[in-house]
Amino acid sequence: MGSDFSAEIKNSIETLSRGGLILYPTDTVWGIGCDATNENAVKKVYELKQREDSKALICLVANDAMLERHVENIPDVAYDILDLATKPTTIIYDNPIGLAKNAIAQDNTMAIRVASDKFCQYLINKFKKPIISTSANLAGQATPRSFDEIGDPILKGVAYIVNLHHDKKNGPPSSIIKLGNDGTVKIIRE
């Protein structure tokens, strides 16, 4: 692990701890991130993206243990889906716990993904809290396919830009699966 990697983790954590927004590479797209437990930070995400806060956000966790701390009841099928998934998979769970109220959807669900890339896992592990991940574009605009396509309002609107993987093209967007506590499974996006 290079010193650059460590420095980027440190700078990102300092920004997140202050309730600031970071622009960071995730396992899918470049994302705007913040502390998923901090309502003021989440509010800044909606303001920057110019979208209503009734639109649910995704949050990233580092591992199953962190997932279990933030969801009241994880259906067994969730582990099967995550084990079998061949690409990043976001699952929408009922009754999230300890996350910012304004990040949670109106039906009291939260979309959560266990991060699969090294940078996100390290960052979230060290931060010890889930991090919001939403695409780095204004509401209604296309998701940027690489760092070069991210618009000025986003670049200027975040407190810190992670200086890694600027040359990396996005991976495919994650699958999104909704799991009800009653055992229902619904594919929202393949």
What is the predicted pLDDT for the residue at 1? 54
**pLDDT tens, position by position, 54-79:** 677 899 999 999 999 999 999 999 99
**pLDDT tens, position by position, 128-177:** 999 999 999 998 898 898 999 999 999 999 999 999 988 877 888 899 99
What is the predicted pLDDT for the residue at 171? 81
**pLDDT tens, position by position, 81-104:** 999 998 999 999 999 999 999 999
Q: pLDDT-based confidence at 3, cuts 50/70/90? A: confident
What is the predicted pLDDT for the residue at 22? 98
CATH 3.90.870.10 holds for 3-189: yes
Mean pLDDT of the chain: 93
**pLDDT tens, position by position, 34-52:** 999 999 999 999 999 998 7
Higher per-residue confidence, 3 vs 13: 13
Higher per-residue confidence, 184 vs 13: 13
What is the predicted pLDDT for the residue at 182? 85
pLDDT value at 2 more than 70:
no
What is the predicted pLDDT for the residue at 54? 66
Label residue 65 exposed, middle or buried (CB < 10 Å: 0-12, 13-18, 19+).
Answer: exposed
Structure tokens at 93: 């769970």
pLDDT value at 181 more than 90:
no
What is the predicted pLDDT for the residue at 145? 86
Characterise 130 by phi-psi region: left (phi > 0), alpha (psi -120 to 50), beta (else): beta
